[in-house]
Amino acid sequence: MFWHAAPGTARRSARLPRRAGAADPRRLRNDMAAPARPHVNPALKFALELGPLLLFFAVNYRWGILPATGALMAGVVVALIVSWTLTRKLPIMPLVTAVFVLAFGALTLVFADSTFIKLKPTIVNSLFGAALLGALAFGKPLLPIVLDSVLHLTEEGWRKLTFRWGLFFFVLAALNEIVWRTQTENFWVNFKVFGVMPLTLVFALSQTPLILKHELKPDERAAEPEHF
């Protein structure tokens, strides 16, 4: 019958190369089939990150560093539970941070020595910095995974943004070492709550020109390469 394709037509068409820049049909089908994952409202996400720190500050002001450490441990666990309840997944950075808070917090309480909880930011920030820059050296920017597809950038944009965040984490690690080793305990707590968070927000906002320069347009996102 005339509506049947000629023998070999399907095979020849399957071998036709895609136009440059065209999206992979398989990826498009996968994206359409996959249910959209819910994301935490940015304001709520910020509250979940800041809440345990504010609790840490308040308890330290009233009862001291050891009870404050216990409150911080409880706070990060509650924040993870809320995040899981809302999205059915755990964000990478808060999860890693919570693991270190629980580990170093436990050491602080067991040995009644605040040195452990003071060292935690140095170790965590150094770990984040090393992970970002190390993976970048092998051509694998981790920042897209950390940000959970909140941004859509070109490969060059991701490389530059990952490099900058990697360096920034090392700066935070160095600042923490300087502050806790040279200042009073209460000053370190204040810096941890009211110093690190504003510094992070200012740095993040300063990356806006880079993000706008390398942001993918909506019609370009279908061809965005997958990261890992």
pLDDT at position 129 over 50: yes
3-state helix, strand, coil in the chain (%, to 5): 75, 0, 25
| pLDDT for position 36 | 52
Q: Determine which of 22-36, 39-53, 134-148, 196-210 has the lowest per-residue pLDDT on average.
A: 22-36
| Mean pLDDT for the stretch of residues 195-212 | 94
Asked if pLDDT for residue 144 goes beyond 90, the answer is: no
* pLDDT value at residue 93: 87
Residue 19 has pLDDT above 60, yes or no: no
Confidence (pLDDT) at 151: 80
Identify the pLDDT of residue 176.
Answer: 98
Count of CB atoms within 10 A of residue 26's CB? 8
Mean pLDDT of all residues in 12-28: 47
What is the DSSP annotation of 78-115? HHHHHHHHHHSS--HHHHHHHHHHHHHHHHHHHHT-TH
pLDDT of residue 172: 97
Per-residue pLDDT at 34 exceeds 60: no
Q: What percent of the chain has pLDDT over 70?
A: 76
What average pLDDT does range 82-107 have in this prediction?
91
Tokens read off for 184: 């009073």
Instruction: Check pLDDT > 80 for residue 171.
Output: yes
pLDDT at residue 216, as a whole number: 85
Q: Tell me, what's the pLDDT at 199? A: 95
> Of the segments 42-46, 72-76, 82-86, which one has the largest average pLDDT value?
72-76
Q: What is the pTM of this model?
A: 0.78
Coil, helix or strand for 189?
helix
Contacts with 145 (C-beta within 8 Å, 6 or more apart), sequence order:
92, 227, 228
134 Cβ contact partners less than 8 Å away, ≥ 6 residues apart: none
The residue whose two tokens read 């009870």 is: 67
